[in-house]
Chains A and B, each alone.
Chain A
Amino acid sequence: MGIGFSLLIAIVLVLVALLGTSIGLNALFAVVIPYLAFSIFLVGFIARIVKWGRSPVPFRIPTTCGQQKSLDWIKHNEIENPSTKMGVVGRMLLEILCFRSLFRNTRMELREGNKLVFIWEKWLWLAGLLFHWSFFIILFRHLRLFMEPVPSLVELVTTLDGFFGFGMHSLFLTDAFILVAVTYLFIRRVVIPHVKYVSLPADYFPLFLIFGIALSGVLMKYVYRVDMIAVKELTLGLVTFNPVVPQGIGAIFYVHLFLVCVLFMYFPFSKLMHMGGVFLSPTRNLPNDSRAKRHVNPWNYPVKFRTYEEYEDEFRKFMKAMGLPVEKDDSKEKS
């Protein structure tokens, strides 16, 4: 049901864009919705981050998988169990750029009756890397639409990505990679029973949406070509707050743009927020130095308490009368 529902929504979104542009609502789809989407994205993203940033993290709760720093002669693993900020930075970099925790993923299986085996679960890691890096590079390449002159780094990345030729076109490798990776991530969700069991529309929908964006982009580049000069006129108009709606851009462009806008609007309310959230996960972004440093809960309020000394001062004579031992015997002191 989750799959069908998500797919239906994705298809409806495509139809909305096609229908909207066919009845001449170009200005709505080219200007109003992009501005709206970007505003929602910006405000929503910041609000989420601020909300998360304000949640208290009183103690060190990193999840580690290496030897903690202790005595000098015990070999310490600074990356897996960081003791300093630099170690945390290294750990976070590896996590964010290489998905190190996924790299360590293993699958357990019973083989030959009851032998427990561990199999390195590399495909999710590989597909995840391929997907995220491709997405990032594609996004980075799109900067050429929003900048004039195009920065040389963007040109360089575009050249490298489009190194291989395909007939008279350049073939962007990331275009192929992202479609393959998203397809894998979807199939995995459907085919593996326990992954399917925990999958909701909120998991399927982003996959369909991103697949739709990638596919419409690929179709626009390789099949239904659009007027790129007009597109750049539009995008530059948008970023300079001087929007124009050029005529004659193909409908496929509006489908692409509308899906991107939906992604932007949906972003702050979805699991896609892991983009910002990964930096805030206290199980990863804290050094594990609880043994070396004392961390006091910052919102501890002053508690009124009574020491044993005060207690004994009050009840000493009764205690002595009952024959209970006391720490301070004032009768002896006096004598």
Chain B
Amino acid sequence: MLEKAFSGSKRYWSWVIFLLVLIGIGFGSYLYQLNKGLAVTGMSRDVSWGLYIGQFTFFVGVAASAVMVVLPYYLHNVKEFGRITVFGEFLAIAAVTMCLLFIIVDLGKPMRLFNVLIYATPHSIMFWDMIVLNGYLLLNILIGWNVLEAERNAVAPPKWVKKLVYVSIPWAVSIHTVTAFLISGLPGRHYWLTSIMAARFLASAFAAGPALLIILSLIVKKFTKFNPGETAIKKLALIVTYATIISIFFVILEFFTAFYSNIPSHMHSLEYLFAGLEGHSNMVPFMWMFAVLAVIAMVLLINPGTRNKENTLLIACIAVFVSMMLEKGLGLIIGGFIPNAFEKVTEYAPTLPELLITLGVWAIGAFILTILYKVAVSVKEEVRA
């Protein structure tokens, strides 16, 4: 089936080449970082996780969200999702690959990557994260590929694939839970020390992931002969609506706990993020952008008129995706480090190499996604022709 990725229109090839150029730029920047060390990034002693880990966290959520099409289809027989489950799974493959790459670029000495295997221990959340992420990648490759191949052959997928699907559903939840534990399992960081972290992660994941899937479905619909189906998109939009509401609700809960109980250590991070602390306010515009976009998304999504119209739904989905990325992929991680353990503020801003490397990882994700979606769409066009 992979041969489908080797033939395409001029537009397809220009897009692929464009992505390859971006990957090249990112890789060049990475070699620079490898040579000079993490000092070329904006990270410091006080803010030791930055854009990379933020993006990692966010894309684990995107990956986990594949379950939002897989679960209704396989457990509740929601037939409309049958046309797009493979898109969800392929999105997960691209997203998990990005996550793994973000981890690698965040390692100052990536050559020590295998230390997580050599010194494997069940006490390390990092070790568990490695297992769940790689396992999830493998599950989605096996499931997505075999289901698509069966569709091409007009037969039911092999029985063992269905068993793997049932494994993959709780597994999807596990990847984001373990990632949340990576963060909330650090008692020294007040902002992260909240038992709702995993729930928050899942909620925002199930908002941002399906939102991206809707955007991708609309792109597929516009540029190819395959139509993912209107009812499927409508159902997804409903999922995005509920998940967005829940995740905004969870953010508000954090505010209540911190401010009504008046716990200074819990309030400082929120103050820094939304209002600035001791004259430092790097993050404030981004967090307000999150708030504004979240409100726009909610208005557009809750109102059935705008939710069911493609144009406004697209805007809503972009708003959800960007706002969740700002909140989880930026604010949450950086906010946890500010103020530091000595109650001082050290700010963080990503540097140019850091941004270019992030762009490169994005391009790799988009590249994998393009190849896989090209294969899937070609097969679906062929089957329906």
Query: Contact between B118 and A164 (Cβ–Cβ < 8 Å)?
Result: no
- Chain B residues near A170: list those with CB within 8 A: 111
Complex Cα–Cα for A166 and B113 (A):
9
What is the distance, in angstroms, from B144's C-beta to the closest C-beta of chain A? 14
Which interface class (under 10, 10 to 19, 20 to 34, 35 or more) fits A? Answer: 10 to 19
- Chain B residues near A167: list those with CB within 8 A: 118
Q: A104-B3, A166-B118 are in contact. Are A111 and B155 (CB under 8 A)?
A: yes
Q: Which residues of chain B have a CB within 8 Å of any CB of chain A?
A: 1-3, 109-115, 118, 149-150, 153-156
A118 within 8 A of B: yes
Query: Contact between A164 and B156 (Cβ–Cβ < 8 Å)?
Result: no
What is the distance, in angstroms, from A267's C-beta to the closest C-beta of chain B? 33
A171 within 8 A of B: yes
Complex Cα–Cα for A120 and B145 (A):
10
A115 within 8 A of B: yes
- Chain B residues near A223: list those with CB within 8 A: none
What is the distance, in angstroms, from A303's C-beta to the closest C-beta of chain B? 48
Contact of A165 among B2, B111, B154 (CB under 8 A): B111
Query: Contact between A119 and B149 (Cβ–Cβ < 8 Å)?
Result: yes
- Chain B residues near A171: list those with CB within 8 A: 114
Q: A115-B154, A120-B1 are in contact. Are A164 and B149 (CB under 8 A)?
A: no
Complex Cα–Cα for A287 and B156 (A):
42
Q: A119-B149, A120-B1, A120-B2 are in contact. Are A165 and B114 (CB under 8 A)?
A: yes
Contact of B112 among A103, A117, A120, A165 (CB under 8 A): A165
What is the distance, in angstroms, from A123's C-beta to the closest C-beta of chain B? 12
In the complex, the chain A residue whose C-beta lies closest to that of B155 is A111
What is the distance, in angstroms, from B112's C-beta to the closest C-beta of chain A? 5
Can you list 11 contacts pairing A with B, beta carbon distance less than 8 Å? A103-B3, A104-B3, A111-B155, A112-B156, A117-B153, A119-B153, A120-B1, A163-B111, A164-B112, A164-B114, A165-B111
Complex Cα–Cα for A273 and B148 (A):
39
Complex Cα–Cα for A143 and B109 (A):
28
What is the distance, in angstroms, from B139's C-beta to the closest C-beta of chain A? 18
Complex Cα–Cα for A163 and B110 (A):
8
What is the distance, in angstroms, from A222's C-beta to the closest C-beta of chain B? 13
Query: Contact between B155 and A164 (Cβ–Cβ < 8 Å)?
Result: no
- Chain A residues near B113: list those with CB within 8 A: 164
Query: Contact between A112 and B149 (Cβ–Cβ < 8 Å)?
Result: no
Contact of B149 among A103, A115, A120 (CB under 8 A): A120
Complex Cα–Cα for A104 and B115 (A):
38
In the complex, the chain A residue whose C-beta lies closest to that of B146 is A119
- Chain A residues near B155: list those with CB within 8 A: 111-112, 115, 117
A 104-129 to B, binary, CB cutoff 8 A, 1 in contact else 0: 10000001100101111010000000
A 166-191 to B, binary, CB cutoff 8 A, 1 in contact else 0: 11001100000000000000000000
Complex Cα–Cα for A205 and B2 (A):
33
